[in-house]
A = this chain, B = another copy of it.
Amino acid sequence: MKVGFIGFGEVASTLSVGLMENGAEVYTCIDGRSTRTRNNILQTGVETYPTYKELAENSDILISSVVPSKAIEVAEMVGKYSKGIYVDINNVSPKTVVDTLDKIENGKTVDAAIIGSVFKNGVNVNVIASGSFANEFADLKNYGMNITVVGSVNGQASGIKLLRSSYTKGVSALLFESIYHGYKMGIDKEVLKYISETECPDFIESAKSRIISAAFHAHRRSEEMDEIVEMLSGKQDPVMAKGILDFFKILGENIKKPEKRPTDYNEIFEYLMKIKE
Protein backbone atom coordinates (compact mmCIF):
# COMPACT_ATOMS: atom_id res chain seq x y z
CA MET A 1 0.00 0.00 0.00
CA LYS A 2 1.49 3.31 -1.17
CA VAL A 3 0.24 6.36 0.73
CA GLY A 4 1.14 9.86 -0.44
CA PHE A 5 0.87 13.07 1.55
CA ILE A 6 0.43 16.56 0.12
CA GLY A 7 1.58 18.84 2.90
CA PHE A 8 3.76 17.67 5.77
CA GLY A 9 2.74 19.34 9.01
CA GLU A 10 1.87 17.70 12.33
CA VAL A 11 -1.03 15.62 10.98
CA ALA A 12 0.91 14.19 8.00
CA SER A 13 4.10 13.48 9.93
CA THR A 14 2.24 11.78 12.80
CA LEU A 15 0.14 9.62 10.49
CA SER A 16 3.19 8.82 8.32
CA VAL A 17 5.22 7.44 11.19
CA GLY A 18 2.31 5.29 12.36
CA LEU A 19 1.51 4.03 8.85
CA MET A 20 5.14 3.05 8.20
CA GLU A 21 5.37 1.24 11.54
CA ASN A 22 2.39 -0.79 10.36
CA GLY A 23 3.91 -1.69 7.00
CA ALA A 24 2.69 1.01 4.59
CA GLU A 25 5.01 2.75 2.14
CA VAL A 26 4.71 6.51 2.64
CA TYR A 27 5.68 9.24 0.17
CA THR A 28 5.56 12.99 -0.09
CA CYS A 29 7.00 15.67 -2.34
CA ILE A 30 9.75 18.09 -1.38
CA ASP A 31 9.22 20.51 -4.27
CA GLY A 32 9.11 24.07 -2.91
CA ARG A 33 9.36 22.99 0.72
CA SER A 34 11.21 24.94 3.40
CA THR A 35 14.45 23.54 4.83
CA ARG A 36 12.63 22.94 8.09
CA THR A 37 9.96 20.80 6.42
CA ARG A 38 12.62 18.91 4.40
CA ASN A 39 14.45 18.08 7.61
CA ASN A 40 11.19 17.03 9.19
CA ILE A 41 10.56 14.68 6.26
CA LEU A 42 14.09 13.25 6.40
CA GLN A 43 13.73 12.55 10.12
CA THR A 44 10.56 10.51 9.70
CA GLY A 45 12.15 8.41 6.93
CA VAL A 46 9.35 9.08 4.43
CA GLU A 47 10.32 8.60 0.73
CA THR A 48 10.03 11.58 -1.59
CA TYR A 49 9.11 12.31 -5.20
CA PRO A 50 10.59 15.36 -6.95
CA THR A 51 7.19 16.49 -8.35
CA TYR A 52 3.54 16.44 -7.22
CA LYS A 53 2.65 14.92 -10.59
CA GLU A 54 4.74 11.84 -9.80
CA LEU A 55 3.44 11.70 -6.21
CA ALA A 56 -0.15 11.76 -7.50
CA GLU A 57 0.47 9.21 -10.23
CA ASN A 58 2.16 6.72 -7.90
CA SER A 59 -0.01 6.82 -4.73
CA ASP A 60 -2.75 4.29 -4.04
CA ILE A 61 -4.14 6.76 -1.53
CA LEU A 62 -3.21 10.45 -1.71
CA ILE A 63 -4.01 12.50 1.39
CA SER A 64 -4.22 16.28 1.29
CA SER A 65 -3.17 17.73 4.63
CA VAL A 66 -2.46 21.41 4.10
CA VAL A 67 -3.59 24.72 5.58
CA PRO A 68 -7.37 25.03 4.98
CA SER A 69 -6.96 27.98 2.63
CA LYS A 70 -4.84 25.84 0.24
CA ALA A 71 -7.18 22.85 0.03
CA ILE A 72 -8.75 23.73 -3.32
CA GLU A 73 -5.47 24.92 -4.85
CA VAL A 74 -3.61 21.65 -4.25
CA ALA A 75 -6.56 19.58 -5.50
CA GLU A 76 -6.50 21.64 -8.69
CA MET A 77 -2.75 21.06 -9.03
CA VAL A 78 -2.93 17.26 -8.89
CA GLY A 79 -6.56 16.79 -10.08
CA LYS A 80 -5.71 15.36 -13.47
CA TYR A 81 -2.77 13.20 -12.26
CA SER A 82 -4.33 11.43 -9.26
CA LYS A 83 -4.60 7.75 -10.19
CA GLY A 84 -5.69 6.32 -6.84
CA ILE A 85 -8.01 7.64 -4.14
CA TYR A 86 -7.81 11.32 -3.18
CA VAL A 87 -8.57 12.15 0.46
CA ASP A 88 -9.13 15.66 1.77
CA ILE A 89 -8.47 15.56 5.53
CA ASN A 90 -8.34 19.33 5.95
CA ASN A 91 -10.42 21.30 8.42
CA VAL A 92 -12.81 22.88 5.92
CA SER A 93 -16.57 23.30 5.52
CA PRO A 94 -18.73 20.73 3.67
CA LYS A 95 -19.18 23.17 0.79
CA THR A 96 -15.42 23.75 0.44
CA VAL A 97 -14.69 20.03 0.59
CA VAL A 98 -17.21 19.36 -2.19
CA ASP A 99 -15.67 22.11 -4.35
CA THR A 100 -12.21 20.73 -3.60
CA LEU A 101 -12.98 17.13 -4.44
CA ASP A 102 -14.74 18.19 -7.65
CA LYS A 103 -11.24 18.98 -9.00
CA ILE A 104 -10.22 15.31 -8.89
CA GLU A 105 -10.89 14.02 -12.39
CA ASN A 106 -11.07 10.28 -11.73
CA GLY A 107 -13.80 10.92 -9.13
CA LYS A 108 -12.26 8.58 -6.55
CA THR A 109 -12.64 10.92 -3.60
CA VAL A 110 -13.02 10.89 0.18
CA ASP A 111 -14.00 13.59 2.66
CA ALA A 112 -12.13 12.83 5.91
CA ALA A 113 -12.13 14.65 9.23
CA ILE A 114 -10.07 14.21 12.37
CA ILE A 115 -12.07 14.13 15.61
CA GLY A 116 -9.85 14.88 18.59
CA SER A 117 -6.13 15.53 18.88
CA VAL A 118 -3.46 14.00 16.62
CA PHE A 119 -0.91 15.24 19.12
CA LYS A 120 -2.49 13.18 21.92
CA ASN A 121 -3.62 10.10 19.97
CA GLY A 122 -1.06 9.62 17.20
CA VAL A 123 -1.97 7.44 14.21
CA ASN A 124 -4.82 5.99 16.27
CA VAL A 125 -6.71 9.31 16.30
CA ASN A 126 -10.40 9.07 15.41
CA VAL A 127 -10.88 9.76 11.67
CA ILE A 128 -14.35 9.83 10.12
CA ALA A 129 -14.82 9.52 6.38
CA SER A 130 -17.55 9.91 3.78
CA GLY A 131 -17.59 9.88 -0.03
CA SER A 132 -17.77 7.30 -2.80
CA PHE A 133 -14.39 5.73 -1.91
CA ALA A 134 -14.59 6.00 1.88
CA ASN A 135 -14.65 2.22 2.33
CA GLU A 136 -11.44 1.81 0.28
CA PHE A 137 -9.75 4.59 2.30
CA ALA A 138 -10.81 2.72 5.44
CA ASP A 139 -8.46 -0.12 4.36
CA LEU A 140 -5.80 1.96 6.09
CA LYS A 141 -7.19 0.45 9.30
CA ASN A 142 -4.90 -2.46 8.32
CA TYR A 143 -2.00 -0.02 8.64
CA GLY A 144 -2.76 1.37 12.09
CA MET A 145 -5.30 4.10 11.36
CA ASN A 146 -8.65 4.38 13.14
CA ILE A 147 -11.19 5.20 10.42
CA THR A 148 -14.99 5.09 10.62
CA VAL A 149 -17.07 5.44 7.46
CA VAL A 150 -20.03 7.73 8.23
CA GLY A 151 -21.64 8.06 4.80
CA SER A 152 -21.15 7.91 1.05
CA VAL A 153 -21.42 11.61 0.22
CA ASN A 154 -18.64 14.20 0.27
CA GLY A 155 -19.35 16.85 2.92
CA GLN A 156 -20.88 14.54 5.51
CA ALA A 157 -17.67 13.87 7.45
CA SER A 158 -16.72 17.57 7.44
CA GLY A 159 -20.28 18.47 8.43
CA ILE A 160 -20.20 16.16 11.45
CA LYS A 161 -16.88 17.63 12.55
CA LEU A 162 -18.07 21.22 12.20
CA LEU A 163 -21.43 20.71 13.92
CA ARG A 164 -19.72 18.89 16.78
CA SER A 165 -17.19 21.67 16.99
CA SER A 166 -19.91 24.33 17.02
CA TYR A 167 -21.61 22.57 19.93
CA THR A 168 -18.47 22.18 22.04
CA LYS A 169 -17.36 25.77 21.40
CA GLY A 170 -20.85 26.91 22.34
CA VAL A 171 -20.74 25.05 25.64
CA SER A 172 -17.42 26.75 26.47
CA ALA A 173 -18.88 30.16 25.63
CA LEU A 174 -21.99 29.50 27.77
CA LEU A 175 -19.84 28.39 30.69
CA PHE A 176 -17.57 31.39 30.37
CA GLU A 177 -20.44 33.87 30.31
CA SER A 178 -22.38 32.30 33.20
CA ILE A 179 -19.39 31.70 35.45
CA TYR A 180 -17.79 35.08 34.75
CA HIS A 181 -21.02 36.79 35.74
CA GLY A 182 -21.24 34.54 38.79
CA TYR A 183 -17.65 35.46 39.68
CA LYS A 184 -18.56 39.14 39.68
CA MET A 185 -21.42 38.32 42.08
CA GLY A 186 -19.23 36.07 44.27
CA ILE A 187 -21.24 32.95 43.43
CA ASP A 188 -19.19 31.30 40.64
CA LYS A 189 -18.39 28.16 42.66
CA GLU A 190 -22.03 27.69 43.61
CA VAL A 191 -23.22 28.15 40.01
CA LEU A 192 -20.74 25.46 38.91
CA LYS A 193 -21.87 23.20 41.74
CA TYR A 194 -25.59 23.48 40.94
CA ILE A 195 -25.02 23.03 37.21
CA SER A 196 -22.89 19.96 37.98
CA GLU A 197 -25.79 18.22 39.70
CA THR A 198 -27.32 17.37 36.32
CA GLU A 199 -23.96 16.78 34.57
CA CYS A 200 -21.10 14.24 34.49
CA PRO A 201 -19.11 13.52 37.66
CA ASP A 202 -16.03 15.40 36.39
CA PHE A 203 -18.06 18.40 35.20
CA ILE A 204 -16.52 21.04 37.49
CA GLU A 205 -12.89 20.30 36.58
CA SER A 206 -13.70 20.07 32.89
CA ALA A 207 -15.74 23.30 33.04
CA LYS A 208 -12.83 25.18 34.59
CA SER A 209 -10.51 23.90 31.90
CA ARG A 210 -12.99 24.87 29.17
CA ILE A 211 -13.27 28.40 30.54
CA ILE A 212 -9.48 28.82 30.52
CA SER A 213 -9.21 27.37 26.99
CA ALA A 214 -11.97 29.69 25.78
CA ALA A 215 -9.88 32.71 26.73
CA PHE A 216 -6.55 31.22 25.65
CA HIS A 217 -7.77 30.23 22.17
CA ALA A 218 -10.44 32.93 21.69
CA HIS A 219 -8.95 34.36 18.51
CA ARG A 220 -8.51 31.00 16.75
CA ARG A 221 -12.00 29.92 17.77
CA SER A 222 -13.57 33.05 16.34
CA GLU A 223 -11.90 32.22 13.01
CA GLU A 224 -13.23 28.66 13.14
CA MET A 225 -16.70 29.96 14.00
CA ASP A 226 -16.62 32.19 10.92
CA GLU A 227 -16.43 29.02 8.82
CA ILE A 228 -19.24 27.38 10.82
CA VAL A 229 -21.58 30.38 10.58
CA GLU A 230 -21.01 30.45 6.84
CA MET A 231 -21.85 26.75 6.64
CA LEU A 232 -25.04 27.13 8.70
CA SER A 233 -26.32 30.28 7.03
CA GLY A 234 -29.07 29.16 4.73
CA LYS A 235 -32.80 29.34 5.12
CA GLN A 236 -32.57 29.42 8.92
CA ASP A 237 -30.63 32.08 10.77
CA PRO A 238 -28.02 30.29 12.94
CA VAL A 239 -28.51 32.56 15.95
CA MET A 240 -26.58 30.39 18.39
CA ALA A 241 -23.57 29.97 16.07
CA LYS A 242 -23.57 33.73 15.46
CA GLY A 243 -23.68 34.29 19.22
CA ILE A 244 -20.68 32.00 19.67
CA LEU A 245 -18.81 33.83 16.90
CA ASP A 246 -19.52 37.22 18.51
CA PHE A 247 -18.59 35.86 21.91
CA PHE A 248 -15.13 34.68 20.82
CA LYS A 249 -14.55 37.74 18.67
CA ILE A 250 -15.22 40.09 21.59
CA LEU A 251 -13.24 37.93 24.02
CA GLY A 252 -10.33 37.69 21.57
CA GLU A 253 -10.28 41.47 21.15
CA ASN A 254 -10.43 42.10 24.90
CA ILE A 255 -7.88 39.59 26.03
CA LYS A 256 -4.31 39.45 24.79
CA LYS A 257 -3.21 35.84 24.52
CA PRO A 258 -0.83 35.27 27.42
CA GLU A 259 2.39 33.37 26.75
CA LYS A 260 1.49 30.70 29.25
CA ARG A 261 -1.89 29.07 29.64
CA PRO A 262 -3.42 30.39 32.89
CA THR A 263 -3.90 27.76 35.58
CA ASP A 264 -7.00 29.33 37.11
CA TYR A 265 -9.93 31.23 35.64
CA ASN A 266 -9.62 33.89 38.36
CA GLU A 267 -6.61 35.37 36.53
CA ILE A 268 -8.67 35.78 33.36
CA PHE A 269 -11.74 37.20 35.11
CA GLU A 270 -9.69 39.66 37.16
CA TYR A 271 -7.96 40.87 34.00
CA LEU A 272 -11.28 41.35 32.20
CA MET A 273 -12.81 43.17 35.16
CA LYS A 274 -9.83 45.53 35.26
CA ILE A 275 -9.92 46.48 31.58
CA LYS A 276 -13.69 46.96 31.71
CA GLU A 277 -13.61 49.47 34.53
A215 CB → nearest B CB, Å: 14
Answer yes or no: A199 CB below 8 A from chain B CBs. yes
Given contacts A156-B185, A236-B272, 10 further A-B contacts (CB under 8 A): A94-B185, A150-B187, A156-B187, A159-B182, A163-B182, A164-B191, A167-B175, A181-B238, A239-B250, A243-B246
B242 near A160 with CB under 8 A, answer: no
Contact of A240 among B153, B174, B197 (CB under 8 A): B174
Answer yes or no: A115 CB below 8 A from chain B CBs. yes
* A205 / chain B contacts, CB cutoff of 8 Å: none
Nearest-neighbor residue (CB-CB) of A277 within chain B: B235
Contact of A151 among B180, B186, B237 (CB under 8 A): B186
**Residue count of chain A within 8 Å CB distance of chain B:** 55
B240 near A155 with CB under 8 A, answer: no
**Interface members, chain A 152-175 (any B CB < 8 Å):** 153, 155-156, 159-161, 163-164, 166-168, 170-171, 173-175
Nearest-neighbor residue (CB-CB) of A237 within chain B: B250
* A240 / chain B contacts, CB cutoff of 8 Å: 170, 173-174, 177, 243-244, 247
* A238 / chain B contacts, CB cutoff of 8 Å: 177, 181
Q: List 16 A-B contacts (CB under 8 A).
A: A128-B194, A156-B185, A159-B185, A161-B194, A163-B178, A164-B194, A167-B174, A167-B175, A170-B170, A170-B240, A171-B171, A171-B174, A181-B236, A181-B238, A199-B200, A235-B276
Chain A interfacial positions (CB closer than 8 Å to B): 94, 115, 126, 128, 150-151, 153, 155-156, 159-161, 163-164, 166-168, 170-171, 173-175, 177-182, 185-187, 190-191, 194-195, 197-200, 232, 235-244, 246-247, 250, 272, 276
Nearest-neighbor residue (CB-CB) of A161 within chain B: B194
A117 CB → nearest B CB, Å: 11
A160 near B241 with CB under 8 A, answer: no
* A interface secondary structure, majority: helix
A187 near B159 with CB under 8 A, answer: yes
A183 CB → nearest B CB, Å: 10
* A247 / chain B contacts, CB cutoff of 8 Å: 239-240
A91 CB → nearest B CB, Å: 15
Given the known A-B contacts A177-B240, A240-B247, A243-B243, are A168 and B195 also in contact in the complex, defined by CB atoms under 8 Å?
yes
Nearest-neighbor residue (CB-CB) of A231 within chain B: B181
* A177 / chain B contacts, CB cutoff of 8 Å: 166, 232, 238-241
